[in-house]
Structure 1
Amino acid sequence: MNRNLSQCGIAAGVCALACAFASGAASAAESIAASQPASPQAVQTMQAVPAFLSAAGQTTRAIHCEAVGDDVLSHQSGKYAGSEMISGFVLNLLSQWQLPNGASAVAQGALAVAQNAANQINAQVQTYAKVVDPAPGGTTAQTSGASPNATAAGGQNVTVNGVSQITQVAGNGNAGANAATIAWDNNAAQTANLPGAAGQSSAAASNASGSIKAGISFGNNGVSVTLQTPAGIATQNIVPGGAQQAGAIAQLLQVAGNNQQVANQLQLSLQTQQMTSQMIRQTGVLQALRNLH
């Protein structure tokens, strides 16, 4: 499906969010590096600076410019991947829950966005949700492994700018995982091949009793994935940034039971525009100059 309506808004929101994470991660890495004590090897590296930097303290010297190579610019702060460099991305989401009685819930989605030569955005979306409940009359607390005396709560109220992963477990024999990957890949990434899901921005499923539910929705420039079982919930949310707050990717697992297997998986692959070596150097110089203030 090629659309320039809600999917395009989602594309812009997720793309800008990914760029913010990339630049934020770079700034965080630089801050951590600056706070660490310099090792002997680091001291030797710091001494090998260009001539115009070593003479910066001589105020009486006239302003002097010297060509700086990429090997030096690559270590300067202020370099980041701007949104104008992103030509497309592929987002894959998967949440799954396996209960000890054989019941299961799965919610899965994929969003692929590409920009053509005319700077037009094409988006393709897929969604899929499925619930399997082999227990007669619906899943009960006894067969599902849920523990009425155990509670796991509070994670839904946590607000974090950036990426957050929260796991709350009350029980024994459980296996749970939150996994998120944001990668740069100039090759065309592949989306998941979901059965009967092409062109649908949302999907939902539940068992007969309504005790197990699975749902996924792309909308309002964000994404929401939710699994609900007698033993807890699993969610994934992508919230776009706004004037009041930065964007966020949040993964949450809450398990109040025994012998549960649950996982959240998110994979975001960013494609960048092909740039000549001259364009790369110009971008590096521009970003370095912007940092001199």
Structure 2
Amino acid sequence: MKRNLSQCGIAVAVSALACAFSSGAPAAESIGAPQPVPAFLSNADGQAQGIRCEAVGDDVLAHQTGKYAGSDMISGFVLNLLSQWQLPNGATAVAQGTLAVAQNAANQMSAQVKTYATVIDPTQGGTTGAKSGASQNASATGGQNVSVNGVSQITQVAGSGNSGANAATISYNNSNNNGSQIAGLQGGSNQPSASASNANGSIKAAISFGGNGVNVTLQTPAGLATQNIVPGNAQQAGAIAQLLQIAGNNQQVANQLQLSLQTQQMTAQMIRQTGVLQALRNLH
């Protein structure tokens, strides 16, 4: 299903937000666990590495020149979101979605979206019991009240034997690789939102795309996992937030976000014009 960009306001918001980040810079935060990392967490855990920064003074920056990815260079993007929670009693919650925005030769934008949510509870609604790993004497709160510009990743844990990871990756690709085509999402539908829950509502999974942003939420007796993308406006810059709150034992949780920006192919004439313009700007 294709939609005009004006009907999918988050498209421009995500693109503009992502342009603020450097190409291919991964951001990840993870918590360790005494047991082996489960298969669905292995990719996210492997990306768990810190971002290194070096401060540079104004006296150095004043003499530097370079290039950056302006908004006019972005011809589209693909956003993939996935949140998974596995409880020790075998219950599982999954919320997943993909948003693809592409620009044609006439500079017209179109958007496609797919969403998927499922909850599998072999206990037939009895997940609130002790076998769910939830701890009634533990709590993990406060992270949902944190507000930052840019990317934030918060992990709050009250329990033992847990595995969890927040992973976000932003990269640039040439638009000629057809990367703006929406990826296959098994079981997904061409709808802007999806939700699911078990019989007694103790486990819920939901995802939604809209003009107010992107929201992914998993709720279980042992905690909460969310991913949110908030568009920027005149008063506040945009933000990407990943949150894990685990108040239990032997929980396996993962938040994953992948944003691939498609850049326009520059002609030889455009490259020469850019080079001349930069040379003129360097003249004093």
TM-score range, shorter chain: 0.7 to 0.9
- Partner in structure 1 of residue 65 of structure 2: 76
Does residue 144 (structure 1) correspond to residue 166 (structure 2)? The answer is no
- Partner in structure 1 of residue 107 of structure 2: 119
CA distance in 2, matches of 1:232, 1:289: 57
- Find 1:210's aligned residue among 161, 180, 201: 201
Q: 1:150 to 1:214 in 2, by over 3 A?
A: same
The answer to whether the 8 Å contact 1:113/1:121 transfers is: yes
TM-score (norm 1): 0.78
Q: 1:285 to 1:106 in 2, by over 3 A?
A: farther
Cα offset, 1:281, TM superposition = 4.8
Unpaired segments ≥5 residues, structure 2: 26-50
CA distance in 1, matches of 2:182, 2:194: 17
Cα offset, 1:33, TM superposition = 4.8
Determine which structure has more spread, i.e. the larger CA radius of gyration.
Answer: 1
Structure 2 counterpart of 1:225, one-letter code: V
Structure 1 counterpart of 2:83, one-letter code: S
- Find 1:262's aligned residue among 253, 257, 267: 253
Structure 1 counterpart of 2:21, one-letter code: F
Corresponding residue SS for 1:148? coil
Q: 1:281 to 1:198 in 2, by over 3 A?
A: farther
CA distance in 2, matches of 1:286, 1:135: 66
Mapping 1:1-293, distance limit 5 Å: 1-4=1-4, 7-22=7-22, 32-34=54-56, 76=65, 79-186=67-174, 187-189=177-179, 191-283=182-274, 286=277
Aligned residues: 251
CA distance in 1, matches of 2:86, 2:7: 31
Moved beyond 6 Å, runs of 4+:
287-293
Cα offset, 1:136, TM superposition = 3.5
Structure 2 counterpart of 1:34, one-letter code: V
Corresponding residue SS for 1:280? helix
CA distance in 2, matches of 1:286, 1:198: 47
CA distance in 1, matches of 2:282, 2:150: 23
The answer to whether the 8 Å contact 2:195/2:207 transfers is: yes
Q: 1:260 to 1:290 in 2, by over 3 A?
A: farther
Identical pairs, percent: 78
CA distance in 1, matches of 2:124, 2:215: 30
Instruction: Compare the two structures and name the one with the higher helix fraction.
Output: 1
Cα offset, 1:199, TM superposition = 1.9
CA distance in 1, matches of 2:212, 2:274: 29
Corresponding residue SS for 2:19? helix
Cα offset, 1:10, TM superposition = 1.8
